[in-house]
A and B are shown apart, each in its own frame.
Chain A
Amino acid sequence: MRLPSSRRSRILATARNRQPQRTDADPDPAGLLEIGAVARELGIAPSTLRTWERRYRVVVPQRGRRGQRLYDPEQVATLRRVLAQVRRGARASAAHELAVIPSPLDTASVRIQPSMQAPLKARQTVDGLLGELDDPRFAFYLRLVASELVKNAFLHGSSRHPIRMEAKLFHDAAELRVQNGGGRLTLRMLRRRRRDGGRGLDIVDALADAWSIDTGPLGTTITVRLSMAHSA
């Protein structure tokens, strides 16, 4: 007996739906996203991503079994930085150059209990990160900045939440990120409190290549970048 075509279609459709989905089409456990998902997340057309890949080759996604593009979270983050630059008016080619962030040689991440010992723990973490690096001046400044940032976090942040410090070492620079819980802190407030006459921030400001403060009701994060050339 031959089924009416509409009935056949429904059965085939049901059978297709029952087939196990291809694993490479699933959301990947490593967080890989297909081009459509990335485009939706960034609010741009998939064709733009393909063009950027072809022209600039900065973000080259891996391919799935069907040949589909699969972007890892780091690549999505890079694309987001590119897009931010483009939306500020940068040309896409220049934006790609700006978006490239080298991978760190080493990273240290610690949770430090808020106490008088916190700055010492910060310096010890930097010591561990630097290892045998033979640049005493850079090491001194990096220890000093880490110590000052964590001291600020202890003095001005919440005493109930641990201070988080992440230190990344690059071949010619280092980046420190210190986060504390507690209320919103601004630069003006940090300076106004002037427990050390505001000199801790002056030191950080003088030694850093760049730094930023991100503060909100749940806490404050200060990120500082120091280059070896700057400390020479």
Chain B
Amino acid sequence: MSTSAFGPSSPEGRLSGLEFKLATADLGNGVSTVSVAGEVDLATAPELKEALTEVVNDGARGVLVDLSNATFIDSTTLGVLMGAVKRLRPTGGELAIACNDPNIRKIFEITLLDRVFAIFDTPGAGVEHLQELGAATADVSPRG
């Protein structure tokens, strides 16, 4: 498992009272997490997009976006998450969300994206789901 701790935030992130930070971790078996802290908006969402593109390009088929420490997301964030879903689906991959903030979860409900993403209260539950999914996919995938 390799991890990239919350790195230095962008100049845009530093302007925010609630600093935007990102961290990625490769948990093995094609599962990666992208953890977000602070506020994700028009200025900071491009960093999230870049992190998601990177983990998908590195071969992740199950990606958990951990919003446990996110304090704000907006429609731009949703657009970035949808973009990652579109990159994952052709390979049978899945994007899951970990979020226990009812206000943030409400945004997914309003936009009906709670039907697109599997949303979990804890990162552990999300990772478990993705690992099970990965194992199931591996069972049925062609071998040789």
Q: Which residues of A are interface residues toward B (Cβ below 8 A)?
A: 116-120, 123-124, 127, 136-137, 140-141, 143-144, 147-148, 151, 154, 195-197, 199-200, 202-203, 206-207
The prevalent SS among residues of B at the interface is helix
On whether the beta carbons of A119 and B75 are closer than 8 Å, the reply is: no
A-B contact pairs, 28 of them (CB 8 A): A116-B42, A117-B12, A117-B15, A117-B43, A119-B42, A119-B74, A136-B103, A137-B102, A140-B72, A144-B107, A147-B41, A147-B72, A148-B74, A151-B41, A151-B74, A151-B75, A154-B42, A196-B75, A196-B76, A196-B78, A197-B82, A199-B75, A200-B75, A202-B75, A202-B111, A203-B107, A203-B111, A207-B110
CB distance from B80 to the nearest CB of A (A): 9
On whether the beta carbons of B75 and A203 are closer than 8 Å, the reply is: yes
CB distance from B115 to the nearest CB of A (A): 14
- Residue in B78, B79, B82, B110 whose CB lies within 8 Å of A206: B110
Q: What range describes how many residues of B lie at the interface? A: 20 to 34
Q: B75 — which chain A residues lie within 8 A by C-beta? A: 148, 151, 196-197, 199-200, 202-203
Q: A151-B74, A203-B110 are in contact. List 8 more A-B contacts (CB 8 A).
A: A117-B12, A120-B12, A120-B15, A123-B41, A137-B102, A151-B42, A196-B78, A203-B111
Q: Which residues of B are interface residues toward A (Cβ below 8 A)?
A: 12, 15-17, 39, 41-43, 72, 74-76, 78-79, 82, 102-103, 107, 110-111
CB-CB nearest in chain A for B104: A140
